[in-house]
Structure 1
Amino acid sequence: MELAMHDNKSKAPRLSLKHLLGRNAGVASIAAFFIVCALAFTLTTHTFLTAGNLLNVLRQSAPLLIVATTMTLVITTGGIDLSIGSTLALVGALSAIALRAGAPGIVVLLGGLTLGALIGAINGYFIAFAGMPAFIVTLGTLSVVRGIALLITQGYSVPIENNGWFVELGRGRLLGVPTPAVIAIATLLAGWVTLRHTRFGRYVTGIGTNSEGVRRAGVDVRAVTLKVYVLSGAAAGLAGLITTARLGSGSSNQGVGFELAVIAAVVLGSTDLFGGRGTILGTLLGALTIAVLGNGLILINVSPFYTQIIQGAIMLLAIWLNTRIFSAQRRKKG
């Protein structure tokens, strides 16, 4: 009898570990892939693992990390936001124009965040209250917002002065860490707490799992959905401000294809493309994997044109794996 109890106790940790790995197979796989990529570039280049290069990767990937955090919430509800790249461009271009006109940096910062949130609110209204598909709505705003940015700038870049605290938003450092990276880390932490430890996060997950059930429980599903898209738009606006500050100019051509990289990072991180399950840790690993791949391929002198091909292939692979993993889980539950 004692021997049997001892055997059961010895099996318990193994069973729990197996269960844990099973539930987080997607995150574990992207973590392993990220480590393999980092090791490969470390062995094939002399500069990848240097502090300067790693800090540069963090600085350049900050906009991706920021927007991917809120995109995780969007996709967890079962939606999608294709307008983030255009929002980034419009906010970036308008912020550059405002700075050249003499507007205070704080006004430009708050205005950019407000504009991004407003674009998100427009998306959220048509999706949540008008009942239109998220793909169609955000595809439409993608075109409209990008068109406005092109109209305002006439296709030209708008340079800004390389001084002042606004520029530090994209080029500065805080305790030796690039300011954009600090902002991205804070955003990721806020996203993790929101999704895992707040009522709002539970509503987001519930909407993706069973929207009607959440509605019948007394939750205002439309209001929650609207807030998710407002957050997505505000994050894209912040990314536009940081990008303009880092590059020293605003342009209507910024953020082209940005939405694809963000969605790839989220899906690669094992957030369920059909909603109901999101992971900020997975999103972090997915975004860093894309950033490391782009940086490492350049360091080994691979043409940047191949980078886009590789990222597209990774996105297809991620969606395929995502679909197979979560379809299998649904069949088991059923």
Structure 2
Amino acid sequence: MSEPSELTLRATTLWRRMRAQNTLWTFLVLVALVVVFSALRPAAFATVFEARSIATESSILVLLAVGQTFVIVTAGIDLSVGSVLIFSGVVAVKVMNGLDGSPRAGWDVVALGTLAGLGAGLAWGALNGLLIAKAKVPPLIVTLGTLGMALGLAQVATHGVDAGNLPDRLTDSVGSGTLLGIPWLIVIAAVVAAIAAYVLHATRFGRYTLAIGSNAESVSRVGIRGDLHLVKVYALSGLLAGFAGVLNLAHFSSTTLTSGTQDNLNAIAAVVLGGTSLFGGTGTVVGTVIGVFIPAVLQSGFTILQVQSFWQTVAVGAVLIAAVYLDQLRRRRRASS
């Protein structure tokens, strides 16, 4: 018999990791929700249109949650991603309007605005990383501070009024365009998630990230610059938040100064629901993507059933607490064994 390929071995390793964490149980919860809502309202919920709508609305949060996964795997936290999304969107739209304020602006204007948004997100992420890794300020305090700074500067730049007047090539082609019938937002989110999963589980960068979360002191003893790696991890989170800010512009055709402030908590919830430990050292991008869809499916199902949306928050909170509790049980069992 031939030996299994490297790809097969990696897939097997990922599956075992998912079984050892809460990821498998979270997936079963998601499947159960889909089955229940489909049984209750098959004509409204169990449709291609509804599935595509849920996936499209979740695409931007997937980018935030993927970046948050890398941060939480290091036993850190990034509360600033929602505000960085807003700030990056403001920077991108200001650059596009400054270069050519007409809806007929070309792809060069879109590209430069996108690069500006990515650069803004990267800068905030690098700042977070430097303050955490070099100045030794706790991640909770640093990112709570930059949360307020990024949102405040975005409001100053726009005088508290959402900015729009975006090129049609961004809003029509990316925001509402499709590739073989699949919205571009879904395609982009899927590609980012796939690359991130490969990086976390099959590259040196991912191994260092997991190692820092498991035992940062041991990492430094073997000659790995843990502080520099932390800067890179937070910079990655900021970069993906900046990318999410540009996609947010494409989707809504303007900035969203007031509706993105809860995205940081939603991203953290998705990561934890997906099985990533708040104590660091373990986590999967696949689990995070599953965690993103649980609140989305709940919101869609409750809307179709005409249940008050407030119950969605109650349900997600209960599942989140259960996920953290199961994570603690797993850690205690490992410690006792």
TM over 0.5: yes
Q: Does 1:35 align with 2:31?
A: yes
Question: 1:4 corresponds to which residue?
Answer: none
Matched residue type, 1:39: V
Aligned-partner Cα distance in 1 for 2:331–2:40: 35
Say if 2:74 and 2:210, in contact at 8 Å, map to a contact too: yes
- Alignment pair present for 1:251 and 2:256: yes
Q: How does 1:210-249 map to 2 (within 5 A)?
A: 210-249=215-254
* Inter-partner Cα distance in structure 1 for 2:297 and 2:249: 22
Quote the residue 2:133 is aligned against. Answer: 128
Supply the distance in 1 between the matched residues of 2:205 and 2:166 (Cα, whole angstroms).
Answer: 41
Q: Secondary structure at the match of 1:59?
A: helix
Does 1:59 pair with 2:56? yes
Q: Deviations over 1:233-253 (max 9, x none)?
A: 011111111111111111322
1:48 is aligned to 2:45: yes
Per the alignment, residue 163 of structure 2 pairs with 158
Matched, 1:177 2:182: yes
Q: Which amino acid aligns with 1:206?
A: A
The 1:137/1:248 distance shift into structure 2, 3 A limit, reads: same
Change (3 A) 1:200 1:162: closer
Structure 2 length normalisation: TM-score? 0.88
Aligned in 2, Cα 1:85/1:165: closer, same or farther, shift over 3 Å?
closer
Q: 1:149 to 1:314 in 2, by over 3 A?
A: farther
2:67 matches 1:70 = yes
- CA contact under 8 A between 2:91 and 2:120: conserved in structure 1? no
Please name the residue that 1:188 is paired with.
193
Residues 22 and 80 from structure 1, CA distance in 2 versus in 1: closer, same or farther, beyond 3 angstroms?
closer
Cα separation, 2, equivalents of 1:231 and 1:268:
21
Deviation digits for residues 187-234 of structure 1 (CA, Å, limit 9, x no counterpart): 111111111110111100100011111111111111111110011001
- Match of 2:168, SS state, is coil
Partner deviation per Cα, 1:78-130 (whole Å, 9 max, x = no partner) = 11100000001111223233333344111000110111000000000001111
**1:252-331 alignment runs, 5 A limit:** 252-331=257-336
What SS is found at the alignment partner of 2:22? helix
The residue that corresponds to 1:91 in the other structure is: 88
Are the aligned partners of 2:299 and 2:312 in contact in 1 as well (CA < 8 Å)? yes
- Distance (whole Å) between structure 2 residues aligned to residue 99 and residue 242 of structure 1: 14
For 2:330 and 2:67, how far apart are their aligned partners in 1? Answer: 23
Q: In the aligned structure 1, how far is the partner of 2:22 from the partner of 2:120?
A: 35
Instruction: Assess, with a 3 A threshold, how the Cα gap between structure 1 residues 151 and 313 changes in structure 2: closer, same or farther.
Output: farther
Distance in 2, Cα, partners of 1:21 & 1:137? 31
**In the alignment, which residue of structure 1 is the partner of 2:76?**
79
Letter in 1 for 2:37: F
- Identity percentage of aligned residues: 34
- Alpha-carbon shift at residue 322 of structure 1 (Å): 2.4
1:94/1:250 contact within 8 Å kept:
no
**Structure 2 contact 90–255 (Cα < 8 Å) conserved:** yes
Contact 2:162 2:257 in 1 (8 A): yes
1:11 maps to what in 2? none
Instruction: Output the amino acid matched with 2:150.
Output: V
Aligned mates of 1:71, 1:256 — CA distance in 2: 15
Structure 1 residue ranges without an equivalent (≥5): 1-15
CA contact (8 A) 2:33 2:297 kept: yes
Give the match's secondary structure for 2:276. Answer: coil
- Comparing 32-41 with 145-154, greater Cα deviation is found at 145-154
Look up the equivalent residue of 1:291 and give its one-letter code: A
Q: C-alpha separation between the residues in 2 aligned to 1:86 and 1:60?
A: 18
The offset of 1:137, in angstroms, is 0.4
Give the corresponding residue for 1:209.
214
Which structure 2 residue ranges, 5 or more long, are not aligned? 1-11, 101-108
- Kindly indicate whether the alpha-carbon contact (under 8 Å) linking 2:197 and 2:285 is maintained by their aligned counterparts in 1: yes
What's the offset of the Cα at 1:263? 0.5
Q: 1 CA distance for matches of 2:308 and 2:29?
A: 22
Letter aligned with residue 27 of structure 1 = T
* C-alpha distance in structure 1 between counterparts of 2:83 and 2:278, whole Å: 22
Q: How much has 1:162 moved relative to structure 2?
A: 6.5
Q: Pick closer, same or farther for the CA change 1:25–1:83 going to 2, 3 Å.
A: closer
1:141-160 CA-partner distances (Å, limit 9, x unpaired): 00111111111222212222
Amino acid at match of 2:116: G
- Cα separation, partners in 2 of 1:230 and 1:116, compared to 1, 3 Å: same
